[in-house]
A and B are shown apart, each in its own frame.
Chain A
Amino acid sequence: MADPAEQHSTAAQPNSLRHGPDERGHFGGRYGGRFVAETLMPLLLELNAAYDAAKADPAFQKELDFYLRDYVGRPSPLWFARRMTEELGGAKIYMKREELNHTGSHKLNNVMGQILLARRMGRTRIVAETGAGQHGVATATVCALFGMQCVIYMGATDVERQKPNVFRMRLLGAEVVPVTAGAGTLKDAMNEAMRDWVANIADTYFLVGTVAGPHPYPAMVRDFQSVIGEETKEQMQAQEGRLPDVIVAAIGGGSNAMGIFHPFLDDASVRLIGVEAAGHGLDSGKTAASIERGRPGVLHGNRTYLLQNADGQIDEAHSISAGLDYPGVGPEHSWLSDIGRAEYVGATDDEALKAFQLCTRTEGIIPALESAHAIAYAAKIAPTLPKETLLVVNISGRGDKDIFTVAEHLGVKL
C-alpha cells in the first residue's frame, strides 16, 4: 500500500449509494434516526459535531492512520484460499484477514477511531456493550493503551460462554459488568450501557461496537470499518487486476459487513451478501436473522429490522455465536436490503460449525464462529459459480475464543 491516505480516497459519485445518511441520520428516509430520551439528545448532537470536525481534520486522519498501521497492524492481507477453493471446486475464494488485527477481529478498526474521538472530546471514562467479547476486548485494549477507565456491559449468558474474553478484559484493566436482564445477551448489554451513559454524561463516552444505535453511530462505525473494503478493492486490483464478483460477510449488528460492502456500493457488478445467523433454522423460532425474519421497528435508538412479536415486544435472538446473537441489525443494512443492493441470507448453527472446521482444516485458519457463518454461505455457493468468479469472504475474527463452544458441540471434553 502506497500512501495510507489513499485508503480513504474512493470518492462517492453524485447519485451514489454512499451518501447516506441524511442529516437526521436516516438511510433511505426510513431507517436509522435518533430515537433516544431527551437526556441523551444533546450528547448525540455534540458527538455528531465532534465527529464531523474530526472527519474534516487531516490531523485526526493522520493520527488514526498511524495507530491503524503500527498498533492494529493494518493493512490486513487478502489471502487466496487455494485448498478451500480446490476442495469446493468453483469460485476462486479469497479471504480478507481481519482476524490478524491486534485483538483478533475487525472490532479494533472502529474502536481505534472512536477512542481517538473520545480523547478529542475530553472524555475520560469509556462504556461499551459486548456480545462475543471481541468488542469489549478491543475497547479494554485501547483503554489500557491510553490509560482510560473502562466499563464493559456483557450479558450474563455471554459471560458464561465467552470466559476467555472476560478474563482478557479484566486483565486489561476493564470492569466487566454481567447483565442479568432478559436472556442476558447483547441486547440487554446494550440497554445497560445506554443506562450507564445517561447517568454519567459528564465524563463518559459510549463506544458502540457495531453499525447500530442512534445517529451518528451507524455512519461513524461504518466509516471507521470501511478501511476493510478500501483495502480489499486495492488488493484485489493488485492481485487480479479487477473488482471482485461476490463479497460475503457475517451480520451481527453488521459492522464488518458494512465495512467491506460500503466502498463497493456503487460498483453494481459486485454482489454483496450478508449472512445472518439462522440459529436452529430460519423458521425454527430460534434465530437471529433480523432482516429475513423481522420487521421494521425501533430499538436502541434507531429504526431497523427487528425480531419482534405482533405487539412490538422485542424477541430474544438465538445463535451459537454470541457476536451474532442480536435481534436487530444496522439500519443501513435494512435500507440496502429494501432496495435490493445487498442480499441477506442465513446460515444455521450447524452450518457454521461445519464451516469452522472446513476453514481450519483446509487453510490453517481457525475463524471466529461469527465469521464461520460467512464461510458457510460462501462454501454453499462457491461450487455453483464459475471458476473465474472472484469471491471474497470477510474473516472478521479468529476463533480461539470459540474453541470451548465448538468442542462442546462436537462432544469433546476439554
Chain B
Amino acid sequence: MSRIAARFKTLATQGRGALIPYLEAFDPDLETSLALLKAMPAAGADLIEVGMPFSDPSADGPVIQLAARRGLKAGATVAGVLKMIAAFREQDQETPIILMGYLNPVEAYGHARFCTDAAKAGVDGLILVDLPPEEADILEQPAQDAGLDIIRLVAPTTSDERLRYVLSHASGFVYYVSITGITGTRTASAEALQEALPRLRAATDLPVAIGFGIRTPEQAATAAGIADGAVVASALLSTLADTLDADGKATDQTLPRVLNQIKDLATAVRAGEKKAG
C-alpha cells in the first residue's frame, strides 16, 4: 500500500480527517524550509504538500506568488527540491509528500526522469496545476511506473460527466478546489462544502481533500470533517512572510510561528468529528 493510502486508512480508523499543510520549497531559503518540513509531522501534519516554485504561477494568488518568488531567489531548482525531499525522508518514512507545481519545470527536467527521481527521493504524489487529464498522457505512464500518484483537482465548475472523466485519471486522493478562483482569496461556506461532497463521493472511492481558501482552525476542522482532509497553504505562507526581516531573511520567529499555527490547526482538526459526507 502507498504511503498516501496507508495514511488515509489509518485516519479513517481514527475517525478523523487529515491536516495537509503546504510549504513552498526554498522559502525563504533551503535551510529554513527543510527545517520546517522536518518539523511539520510533529506539529500535526498528516500529509504535506511541497510547492515547487515557478516563475509564472497563473493559478495562484499573491501570497503563493510571492512565496514562489522568494523560493526562486533562494535558488530553488527541481533537482534542489527533490534533494530536499530526500533529506526529509532520511528521518520520516511515513508522512506522505505531495509535490505541487506547474508543468514546465517538470518538462524541462524530463517527464520520465522526473518521475523516477521524485519517487527515489521519497515523493508520493504529484499535483500539476496546469496538466488536465486531456494532456496528462505524457506523465501518466512514467508516474505509474515510478509508483507516484497523480492527484487530480476538481472544481465547482467540473460537471458530473466531466467528473467521471477526470476521476478516471486520478489516484491517491482527490483535491477539491472549493472555490472558483485563485489560491488564498475566497473561502467556501460549510454549506457549500456539504452540498459539494455527495457529488464527489458518488463518483469516487478515493479520499477527498478540500483546499483553496481554508485559513482558520475552524475552517480546517469543518473541511476535514466534511471531507477526508483540509489543505492549508496561503494562511501559513502569510505567517511565514510576516516573520521575515527587511531583507526577506528568516528570523528566530519564522519556524515557531508557522509551527504553532500548524499545531492550532491540527488541534482543531483532531477535535473535530467526521460527519457523514
Give residues of chain B (74-102) contacting chain A, Cβ–Cβ below 8 Å. 77-78, 102
Instruction: Return B132 CB to nearest CB of chain A, in Å.
Output: 5
Tell me if A19 is interfacial: C-beta within 8 Å of chain B.
Answer: no
Would you call the interface of chain B mostly helix, strand, loop, or mixed? loop
The one of B60, B78, B107, B158 in contact with A38, judged by C-beta atoms closer than 8 angstroms, is: B158
- Is A35 an interface position by the 8 A CB rule? yes
Q: Interface digits, B162-187 against A, CB 8 Å rule (1 contact, 0 not)?
A: 10001000000000010011100110
Give the residues in chain A near B155, CB-CB below 8 Å: 37-39, 42
Given contacts A195-B58, A198-B59, A311-B77, A36 and B109 within 8 Å (CB-CB):
no
Main secondary structure of the interface of A (DSSP, over half): mixed
Q: How many Å lie between the Cα of A298 and that of B107 in the bound state? A: 8
> Is the C-beta of B61 less than 8 angstroms from some C-beta in chain A?
yes
Report if A42-B162 is in contact (Cβ < 8 Å); known contacts: A33-B135, A298-B103, A312-B109.
Answer: yes
What 0/1 readout, one digit per residue, does chain A (198-235) give for beta carbons within 8 Å of chain B? 11010000000000000000000000000000000000
A333 CB–B CB distance under 8 Å: no
Question: Which residue of B56, B58, B132, B185 has the most chain A CB atoms within 10 A of its CB atom?
Answer: B58
Complex CA distance for A195 and B158, rounded to whole angstroms: 18
Whole-angstrom CA separation of A291 from B37 in the bound complex: 40
Q: Which residue of chain B lies nearest to A306 when distances are taken between CB atoms in the complex?
A: B104
What's the nearest-Cβ distance from chain A to residue B66, in Å? 9
Give complex CA distance A210, B77 in Å: 31
A238 at the A/B interface (Cβ < 8 Å)? no
With an 8 A cutoff between CB atoms, is B54 at the interface? yes
A105 to B64, CA, bound (A): 37
Contact, CB under 8 Å: A312 / B105: yes
Residues 120-132 of chain B, each 1 if its beta carbon lies under 8 Å from chain A, else 0: 0000000001111
With beta carbons under 8 angstroms apart, the residue of B61, B130, B135 that contacts A195 is: B61
Contact partners of B102 in chain A: CB under 8 A: 298
Q: Please tell me which one of the listed residues B104, B153, B158, B166 contacts residue A297 in the complex, with CB atoms under 8 A apart.
A: B104
Nearest CB to that of A181 among chain B residues?
Answer: B65
Instruction: Give every chain B residue within 8 A of A194 (Cβ-Cβ).
Output: 58-59
Count of A residues near B, CB < 8 Å?
Answer: 35
Q: Does B251 contact A (CB under 8 A)?
A: no
Contact B129 A37 (CB under 8 A): yes
In whole Å, how far is A318's beta carbon from the nearest beta carbon of chain B?
16
Q: Judging by beta carbons under 8 Å apart, are A314 and B56 in contact?
A: yes
A147 at the interface (CB under 8 A from B): no
Kindly state whether residue A308 has any CB partner on chain B within 8 Å.
yes
The yes or no answer to B157 lying at the interface (CB within 8 A) is yes
A39 with B105: in contact, given A33-B135, A34-B134, A191-B58 (CB under 8 Å)? no
Cα–Cα, bound, A198→B153 (Å): 14
Q: Can you list, as one digit per residue, whether each of B182-195 has a CB less than 8 Å from chain A (1) or not (0)?
A: 10011000000000
Give Cα A195 to B131, complex, Å: 16
Q: How far in angstroms is the closest Cβ of chain A from B168?
A: 14
Contact B58 A39 (CB under 8 A): no
Contact A201 B157, beta carbon cutoff 8 Å = yes
Docked-complex contact B58 and A300, CB < 8 angstroms: yes
Closest partner residue, chain B, to A202 (CB atom): B180
Q: Evaluate contact between A198 and B154: CB separation under 8 angstroms.
A: no
Assess the A195–B132 pair: CB atoms within 8 A. no
User: Is B55 interfacial (CB 8 A cutoff)?
Assistant: yes
Q: How far is the CB of B234 from chain A (nearest CB, A)?
A: 14
The answer to the question of A106 belonging to the interface, with a C-beta cut-off of 8 Å to chain B, is: no
**Are B158 and A34 within 8 A (Cβ)?**
no
Q: From residue 148 to 182 of chain A, which have CB atoms closer than 8 A to chain B?
A: 181-182
Give the complex CA separation of A34 and B130 in angstroms.
Answer: 8
B159 at interface by CB-CB < 8 Å: yes
| Chain B residues closer than 8 Å to A181, beta-carbon distance | 65
Q: Is the CB of A299 within 8 A of B177?
A: no
Q: Most chain-A CB neighbours within 10 Å: which of B155, B159, B177, B185?
A: B155
- Using known A-B contacts A38-B153, A39-B155, determine if residue A312 contacts B108 with beta carbons closer than 8 Å: yes
Taking a contact as CB atoms under 8 Å apart, the answer to whether B130 and A37 are in contact is: yes
Cα–Cα, bound, A38→B165 (Å): 12
- Verify if B274 is at the interface (C-beta below 8 Å from A): no
Q: Does B152 belong to the interface (CB within 8 Å)?
A: yes
B82 CB, nearest partner CB in chain A, Å? 12
Is B181 in contact with A199, judged by CB distance below 8 angstroms? Answer: yes
What 7 pairs between A and B have smallest CB-CB spacing?
A: A312-B108, A312-B105, A199-B181, A39-B155, A37-B59, A313-B55, A191-B58
B residues with CB within 8 A of A: 54-61, 65, 72, 77-78, 102-109, 129-132, 134-135, 152-159, 162, 166, 177, 180-182, 185-186
- 15 sampled A-B residue pairs with Cβ under 8 A: A35-B131, A37-B129, A37-B132, A38-B132, A41-B132, A41-B158, A42-B159, A43-B157, A181-B65, A191-B57, A199-B180, A199-B185, A201-B157, A201-B180, A308-B104
Name 16 extra pairs, CB < 8 A, besides A37-B177, A38-B166: A35-B131, A35-B135, A38-B153, A38-B155, A41-B132, A41-B134, A45-B162, A191-B58, A198-B180, A198-B181, A199-B181, A298-B130, A301-B130, A308-B104, A313-B54, A313-B105
